[in-house]
Amino acid sequence: SIICTASVAGLRSGAGGPAYTASKAGVINLVRIGAQQLTGSNVRCNAICPGLIETGMTEFIYSKAREKGFEDKIGQLNPMQRGGVPNEIAEAALFLASDRSSYVNGHALVVDGGLTSSHPYARQRFGQTAT
């Protein structure tokens, strides 16, 4: 199993800078191409698309939020209303590496607390529709 790290930024605009977004979109398409190119090899090729995860890359965001007392605002745009932790990405990778995902191939698995389920500024509440 080949597992690449992409990002929700590769799926939607506004989740990263232009170069980062374009590169992550490229990773997503690369795993799709890989799935096709590896036909018959019994090798699966997938990507994980993390949302906001507390890592070295996002340390500045988390540090500033904590410094200003806005830690509760981290991840507020996703339905889980929190940022993710590295272990949640590791669990997704373990799933993709295991036989439990034996029929998952050419897929970009989103692990983002639901951020990409809707436009974050027009989140629909249960039982309501956007106006």
Phi, psi dihedral angles at 89 (to 5 degrees): -75, -40
Dihedral sign, Cα of residue 95, residue 99, residue 100, residue 102? positive
- pLDDT at residue number 125: 62
Q: Which of 20, 62, 103, 121 is catalytic?
A: 20
- Assess if CATH 3.30.360.10 describes domain 2-112: no
121 is annotated as an active-site residue: no
Domain ranges, ordered by start, for the chain = 2-112
User: How far are the Cα atoms of 25, 39, 102 from residue 45, in angstroms, in the given order?
Assistant: 15, 10, 11
The count of other CB atoms within 10 Å of the CB of residue 49 is 27
At 126 the pLDDT is 63
Query: CA 66, 68, 73 angle in degrees (round to 5)?
Result: 65
Name residues of the chain where pLDDT drops below 50: 130-131
pLDDT, residue 117, reads: 86
Q: State residue 74's pLDDT score.
A: 83
